[in-house]
Amino acid sequence: MVISRSLDDTSALPTEPRLMEMFNVSRGTLRRAIGDLVREGLLSAEQGRGTFVNQEERVRRVVWERLKHVAIPDSRFDRDLREFVPDFFGSDEASRRVTSLNEWSAASRVFCAPDNSVEQLRYEALAAGKSILVPTYGLRRGFAHLDGAVLARSDLRHAASLDGMESYGTTLGPGDLRRFGTIELIITGATAATTDGRHIGGGQRYLALEWTMMEQLGLVSTSVPVVALLHDCQLVDEVVEADHDCLIDFIATNSRMIHVWGSSPSASNKAPLTLRRIV
């Protein structure tokens, strides 16, 4: 029931007696079931208000189910999509859509998420002589800072991978992120995204954390173009509340490019749109 509800339904679950009747279960069974779902993050119980569905978590589950069919296994986590953002069949086409953007050509300092789907674009960025900033997986060892202009051609594939990137360039902790300079483009994968530009990551919200760090250091502002690489099946045509300002401008998929804010996004028309997250 929770999974099949419409996504913009933000009302509380029905009362206990009603649920017991609907599922024909005892109060004990119902409470255990709800308790399990709360622990898994799918429901949240709010004192005095009722039990609500965690929208982000529900979207993740819907999308993971679809994504299984097109996801490419991770070298360590295989198909355990809770642990990583996978590359997918068709990411080459999505990447080509990104490299033909003017925003891509104009940027020389690019933030790239450590998502597997972004590996090809990390390579393209280095090959184009750009500098990239890549968080290590789970932010365990800070950020890798790689400069495509000084790397040997034969190192680029290695440097673009999570396994190889820390062998090149420098590692920056949160304290020395400023050395990278202001970021001109953000490229990320996602577990899911909404057509109105909300990024839904894995459960740990690393992108939100990284965004907050970079924003506080003055490295990004809401005018920085944000590009998300997704498979079509990761797109959700609903409104989900976002909890940070890293709103997506371009969604590049295996089949199309979506300009979230219209045909020519710019600082002037994007700034007020961040207010939309209150909707």
Binding site residues, other proteins, CB under 8 A: 72-78, 83-84, 119, 136-138, 140-141, 153-158, 160-166
Q: 161-198 in b/e burial notation, b at 16+ Cβ within 10 A?
A: bbeebbebbeebeeeebeebeebbbbbbbbbbbbebbb
**Among residues 91, 61, 67, which one has the least CA distance to residue 79?**
67
Shortest reach from residue 210's CB to other proteins, in Å: 17
Instruction: Using the minimum distance from each CB to other proteins, give the nearer residue, 72 or 267.
Output: 72
CB of 165 within 8 A of CB of 159?
yes
Shortest reach from residue 74's CB to other proteins, in Å: 8
| Burial status of residue 112 (CB atoms within 10 A of its CB: 0-12, 13-18, 19 or more) | buried
Instruction: Using the minimum distance from each CB to other proteins, give the nearer residue, 76 or 179.
Output: 76
Shortest reach from residue 5's CB to other proteins, in Å: 33
Shortest reach from residue 117's CB to other proteins, in Å: 13
Instruction: Using the minimum distance from each CB to other proteins, give the nearer residue, 52 or 137.
Output: 137
Q: Distances from the Cα of 223 to the Cαs of 49, 75, 215, in angstroms?
A: 37, 35, 11
Instruction: Using the minimum distance from each CB to other proteins, give the nearer residue, 162 or 227.
Output: 162
Q: CA-CA distance, 60 to 69, in Å (whole number)? A: 15
Instruction: Using the minimum distance from each CB to other proteins, give the nearer residue, 74 or 215.
Output: 74
How many residues are there in the chain?
A: 279
CB of 99 within 8 A of CB of 121?
yes
Phi, psi of 170, rounded to the nearest 5 degrees:
-130, 160
Instruction: Using the minimum distance from each CB to other proteins, give the nearer residue, 52 or 77.
Output: 77
Shortest reach from residue 127's CB to other proteins, in Å: 11
Which residues, listed in sequence order, are joined to residue 147 by a DSSP beta bridge? 131
Shortest reach from residue 53's CB to other proteins, in Å: 31
**Strand 192-194 relative to strand 235-236: parallel, antiparallel, unpaired?**
parallel
